[in-house]
Amino acid sequence: MAPTMDFVISGLFCAEYNKSMLENVYDDIHTLFHGDHQNNQQTMPFQSDDCVALMIKKECEYMCCDDYLEKLKNGEFDLGEREQILDWICQVHSHFKFGPLCLYLSVNYLDRFLSVFELPEERAWTMQLLAIACVSIAAKLEEVEVPLSEDLQIEGTQFEFEASTIQRMELVVLKTLNWRMHAITPFSFIDYFIKKINGDQIASTSTMFKATNLIIGTLKGIHFLEFKPSEIAAAVAIYAVVKNKTSGIEKAISTLTQQVQKDKVKKCVDLMKESSLLSDFGASTLMVPPSPTGVWDVASSIDMSDDDSGPSSLDDELVTRRTKMDEMNE
**Average pLDDT in the 266-286 region?**
67
Q: Is the domain of 122 the same as that of 262?
A: no
Would 59 be classed as within a structural domain?
Answer: no
- What helix, strand, coil percent values describe the chain, rounded to 5? 65, 0, 35
Q: Is the domain of 141 the same as that of 165?
A: yes
The helix (H) or strand (E) run that includes residue 50 is: helix 49-58
Higher-confidence residue of 14 and 125: namely: 125
Looking at the DSSP assignment, which residues form a beta bridge with residue 118?
A: 4
pLDDT of residue 240: 86
Q: What is the pTM of this model?
A: 0.75
Q: Is pLDDT above 80 for 265?
A: yes
CA distance 12 to 130: 12
The domain boundary residue, chosen from 136, 155, 176: 176
pLDDT-wise least confident of 178-182, 234-238, 296-300? 296-300
Would 48 be classed as within a structural domain?
Answer: no
The answer to whether residues 126 and 78 touch, using CB atoms and an 8 Å cutoff, is no
Q: Is the domain of 149 the same as that of 285?
A: no
Q: Is the domain of 162 the same as that of 16?
A: yes
What three-state secondary structure class fits 118? strand
Q: Is the domain of 157 the same as that of 256?
A: no
CA distance readout (Å), 95 to 87, 207, 216: 12, 26, 17
CA distance 57 to 72: 26
The answer to whether residues 125 and 159 touch, using CB atoms and an 8 Å cutoff, is yes
Q: Is the domain of 224 the same as that of 153?
A: no
Confidence of residue 245 (pLDDT cuts 50, 70, 90): low
pLDDT of residue 42: 37
**Average pLDDT in the 25-39 region?**
45
pLDDT of residue 80: 86
Q: Is the domain of 110 the same as that of 201?
A: no
User: Which CATH number fits the domain that encloses residue 117?
Assistant: 1.10.472.10
**Average pLDDT in the 304-330 region?**
45
- Residue pLDDT, tens place only, 112-151: 999 998 877 666 789 999 999 999 999 999 999 999 999 9
- Residue pLDDT, tens place only, 90-117: 999 999 999 999 999 999 999 999 999 8
Would 61 be classed as within a structural domain?
Answer: no
Q: C-alpha 58: how far from its chain's center?
A: 16
Q: Is pLDDT above 70 for 310?
A: no
Average predicted confidence (pLDDT) for the chain: 76
Angle (deg, nearest 10), helices 205-217 and 100-116? 20
Q: Which of 40-44, 50-54, 176-180, 205-209 has the highest mean pLDDT?
A: 176-180
Q: How many domains does the chain have?
A: 2
